Homo-oligomer: A and B are copies of this chain.
Amino acid sequence: MRKRIITISRQFGSGGRSIGKEVAKTLGIAYYDRELIEKVAEKTGLSPDFIAERGEYSPSKNPFAYSFVDRSINGMSLSDYLYNEQRRVILELADKEPCVIVGRCADYILRERTDCLHAFIHASEEVRAERIVKLYGETNVEPKKRLHDKDKKRAVNYKYYTDQEWGLAKNYDITLDSGVLGIDTCVKILVELAK
């Protein structure tokens, strides 16, 4: 079956977003990352920056912290409210048109559909550290610590909402090491599979 929708989960600094953008461009289909955030912002009234940060990252490394923060909307934590709204937007987008969706547990949210290709992009710490310094510049936090913190938060967020382990091969149709294979090859493989 042709894959109308491609979800891309990715380690921080692995180039997953660039790959997703390029795949969408090559296939001539929509790309949802920042655009998804804008849609969720419209629906919820929350600020795009808040959604960007909290829609994919747990507020704390401690998953239990979810219960104690932001209890504010209809008895739901703000995190749960945001997840639900994000989920609704992702389901609507998938119904509407072929697209690439990056992050935000989209693989899990769309798991029942058979017209999706679920990919996970990763790379070694060395490759990713170099990439984030090149893309986002130096900060006073050591690059490997930045990678570790961000991925830890993504993993906790994913585990909390999906009850699955982030980065386990069996959750994805394909996983690719962008450092070993190269960004262009990853794009080419995903484009071929989607056709």
Contact = CB atoms under 8 A, between A and B. Distances in A.
Interface of A: 11, 120, 122, 167-170, 172-177, 180-181, 185, 189, 193
Task: List the 3 closest pairs (A to B, CB-CB), nearest first.
Answer: A169-B175, A175-B175, A173-B177
A185 B175 contact: no
B177 A174 contact: yes
Contacts of A120: 169
B173 A172 contact: no
Copies of this protein in the assembly total 2
Contacts of A181: 173-174, 193
Nearest to A14: B170
A162 B101 CA distance: 35
A176 B181 CA distance: 15
A177 B172 contact: yes
Contacts of A193: 181, 185
Nearest to A120: B169
Contacts of A176: 173-174
Contacts of A168: 167-169
B173 A180 contact: yes
A71 to B, nearest CB: 35
A181 B122 CA distance: 20
A165 to B, nearest CB: 8
A175 to B, nearest CB: 4
Nearest to A177: B173
Contacts of A122: 169-170
Given A174-B177, A174-B181, A175-B175, 12 more contacts: A11-B170, A122-B169, A122-B170, A167-B170, A168-B168, A169-B169, A169-B172, A172-B175, A172-B177, A173-B177, A174-B175, A181-B193
Nearest to A181: B173
